[in-house]
Structure 1
Amino acid sequence: MVELTTNKLEALKRLSDENGVIGALAIDQRGSLKKMIAAHSNEIGDAGVIDFKKLISEELTPYSTSILLDPEYGLPAAKVRDKNAGLLVAYEKTGYDATDVGRLPDLLSEWSVKRLKEAGADAVKFLLYYDVDQSEEINDYKHVYMERVGSECVAEDIPFFLEIVTYDAEIADAKSKEYAKVKPHKVIEAMREFSKPQYHVDVLKVEVPVDMNFVEGYAKGEAVYSQEEAASYFKEQSQATGLPFIFLSAGVSAKLFQETLTLAKNSGSTFNGVLCGRATWKDGVAPFAADGEKAGRDWLQNTGKRNIEELNAVLRKTASPWFDKVN
């Protein structure tokens, strides 16, 4: 159970639907989005990244409760979002140094929580890469860093959304069978850690606790988990925190993400919504980059819209209201 001030409560309501479910759209990608666009066109620079974010915001926020953007390229998109859509803004630098064994967090040096709030943010999001089994020195650094961000959000009386992406320092491929075996432990223990009160987290944005590509019935090859084991991990994840939590899509297909939410619900998970990015819009990058704004807009008005409407229909049946988790 999380204690919310009046301002934080009102902000969370702006980010949710009337039932207390968050159906947010994420397009705070920066480096990865540039690479996605560059794969289809070498002629679109930073201006193209800004324009694509604006297109996403214009066309898809009418069907989303809120949108997550970055302050580097995303603020023009914030200005053209639907009037009923709330605004989350990212506070971390994009990506991490591949030579850095600790994947240490770093803030956008020209921004503060105060400035993000003044720019119109209803909530601040920070992405943290975390391996619960890494050295005490590295993880203590991350703990202190998140305490600082949380304290900043308390000072500005604005919700703190912490996005946790787990990894194993000894396993290079996070999509491998080897990592799938340890993923439940990594995800659940990370959630348990950052649910502690010293971090002042209001909402956790997290991965599902299994790799769905290795779940019996969903796996194309050898399965790592039976359906019963996967269900037990979803339930254990839900029980690991008293905070509201939402799922990230991690770039899986729209269909697989929808099936994942149904499995979560059937397993007893009380997740409170999604912050869904690439699963919604990634296939719209190619027509936009290769054929221009009109082609990108046409894709968003058809396939993109359908992806969100289908996701919303699943959310109505599966997600629990965050109202139940706050005072």
Structure 2
Amino acid sequence: MELTENKRNYLKQITNEKGIIGALAIDQRGALKKMINKYQETEATAEQIEQFKEIVSTELTPFASAILLDPEYGLPAAAARDKSAGLLLAYEKTGYDASTPGRLPDLLSIWSVKRLKEAGADACKFLLYYDVDESAEINLQKQAFIERIGSECQAEDLPFFLELVSYDANDADNSTAAYAKEKPHKVNDMMKEFSNKRYGVDVLKVEVPVNMKFVEGFSEDEVVYTKAEAAKFFKEQSESTDLPFIFLSAGVSAEMFQTTLHFAKEAGSTFNGVLCGRATWANGVEPFITKGENSAAEWLKTEGRKNIQELNQVLNETATSIKL
């Protein structure tokens, strides 16, 4: 990884004293609205979304190396974060247009990397849905799109975190055993593609290469991978890139995410940390809506803090330091 002095300094703000990224992700917008809507009859308001993000930031950033937020609802939370925590800001619009093929990405129209930097970002994060087996007509558009963002980040001398989420263009359900069989190839080949220097990516944020629900010893249903096979895919993932890479939690429970990180380490993965979202704070939404702000803050002070401190301990045992 070739870094300018400015990018190196920004990354130091995002990593902990051991050079590991133990960051908190709450850039969810559409997903957070749905979580709030489960506990009330009316639609989630912008004020509720901003307020919940701010409470999470206030209570949990003292224990995180950084926080990932969106500039649409997250700027009050960015201002409320602990001074020790770095800031990543998301550049993508939430979700994707399901009415057109390809899950094509889009940018927040009134933002640029320059503006994210002016808002205090230590890095720009962009989420890309990508199927390595989709048509060249679709994937060439996505590749050019990422090249543009990489060039923007290089111009502003700001680190570029690319979040890659795999899918199957022919089957929207990624929870099945059939998709689990395809996932290692889709995740690892996608990482290999976007590790190319032409994209200007500094850190990859990625899924683990298997669905742990289908791993021998972790599965209550069908076994898709033996432990040895799953371990091989984790090892291959590390070998598919020369960039630092961190894992996303993909909405699994805190316990399952921690178990997965131990498995990854034992398999020889050299991942450099996590950007962990719902596994840390998701269960704070219910008290926030049903009992109010103070109840949510109390949950985050206790259970949320426990989740993030346990995760930090696991990271200290499993993650590899980024050489800065």
The TM-score, its normalising length taken from structure 2, stands at 0.99
Q: What is the distance in 2 between the residues matched to 1:57 and 1:172?
A: 33
Q: What is the distance in 1 between the residues matched to 2:88 and 2:76?
A: 14
Return the letter of the residue paired with 1:159: P
Q: What is the distance in 1 between the residues matched to 2:292 and 2:165?
A: 33
Answer yes or no: is 1:128 the counterpart of 2:128: yes
8 Å contact kept, 1:15–1:66: yes
User: 1:51 Cα deviation (Å)?
Assistant: 0.2
Correspondence 1:221-260 to 2 at 5 A: 221-260=221-260
Q: What is the distance in 2 between the residues matched to 1:98 and 1:117?
A: 31
8 Å contact kept, 1:87–1:120: yes
User: 1:88 Cα deviation (Å)?
Assistant: 0.1
The Cα offsets for residues 259-296 of structure 1, whole Å up to 9 and x where unpaired, read as 00000000000000000000001111111111110111
Matched residues, percent identical?
A: 63
8 Å contact kept, 1:49–1:73: yes
Q: What is the distance in 1 between the residues matched to 2:159 and 2:41?
A: 38
Range with bigger deviation, 227-236 or 167-176: 167-176
The Cα offsets for residues 98-148 of structure 1, whole Å up to 9 and x where unpaired, read as 222200010001000000000000000000000000000100000000000
2:277 aligns with: 277
1:17 aligns with: 16
Q: What is the distance in 1 between the residues matched to 2:92 and 2:220?
A: 35
Answer yes or no: is 1:156 the counterpart of 2:156: yes
Correspondence 1:158-197 to 2 at 5 A: 158-197=158-197
User: 1:42 Cα deviation (Å)?
Assistant: 3.4
**Secondary structure in 1 matching 2:87:** strand
**Secondary structure in 2 matching 1:187:** helix
Q: What is the distance in 1 between the residues matched to 2:321 and 2:278?
A: 24
**Secondary structure in 2 matching 1:134:** coil
Range with bigger deviation, 170-179 or 195-204: 170-179
**Secondary structure in 1 matching 2:104:** coil
8 Å contact kept, 1:150–1:160: yes
**Secondary structure in 1 matching 2:161:** strand
**Secondary structure in 2 matching 1:67:** strand
Return the letter of the residue paired with 1:59: E
Q: What is the distance in 2 between the residues matched to 1:220 and 1:267?
A: 22
8 Å contact kept, 1:215–1:224: yes
Q: What is the distance in 2 between the residues matched to 1:3 and 1:206?
A: 20
Q: What is the distance in 1 between the residues matched to 2:172 and 2:201?
A: 29
**Secondary structure in 1 matching 2:247:** strand
**Secondary structure in 2 matching 1:168:** coil
User: 1:220 Cα deviation (Å)?
Assistant: 1.3
Q: What is the distance in 2 between the residues matched to 1:280 and 1:31?
A: 18
User: 1:13 Cα deviation (Å)?
Assistant: 0.4
8 Å contact kept, 1:171–1:178: no
Q: Which runs of 4+ in 1 moved over 4 A?
A: none
Unpaired stretches in structure 1, ≥5 consecutive residues? none
Q: What is the distance in 2 between the residues matched to 1:135 and 1:118?
A: 37
Q: What is the distance in 2 between the residues matched to 1:248 and 1:139?
A: 23
1:30 aligns with: 29
The Cα offsets for residues 21-63 of structure 1, whole Å up to 9 and x where unpaired, read as 0000000000110110011023541100000000000000000
2:296 aligns with: 296
Q: What is the distance in 1 between the residues matched to 2:7 and 2:21?
A: 15
Q: What is the distance in 1 between the residues matched to 2:100 and 2:299?
A: 38
Q: What is the distance in 2 between the residues matched to 1:46 and 1:307?
A: 26
Q: What is the distance in 2 between the residues matched to 1:213 and 1:239?
A: 24
Q: What is the distance in 2 between the residues matched to 1:50 and 1:131?
A: 32
Return the letter of the residue paired with 1:241: T
Q: What is the distance in 2 between the residues matched to 1:42 and 1:163?
A: 33
**Secondary structure in 2 matching 1:216:** coil
User: 1:175 Cα deviation (Å)?
Assistant: 0.6
Return the letter of the residue paired with 1:29: Q
Q: What is the distance in 1 between the residues matched to 2:228 and 2:102?
A: 34
**Secondary structure in 2 matching 1:161:** strand
Q: What is the distance in 1 between the residues matched to 2:71 and 2:112?
A: 11
1:287 aligns with: 287
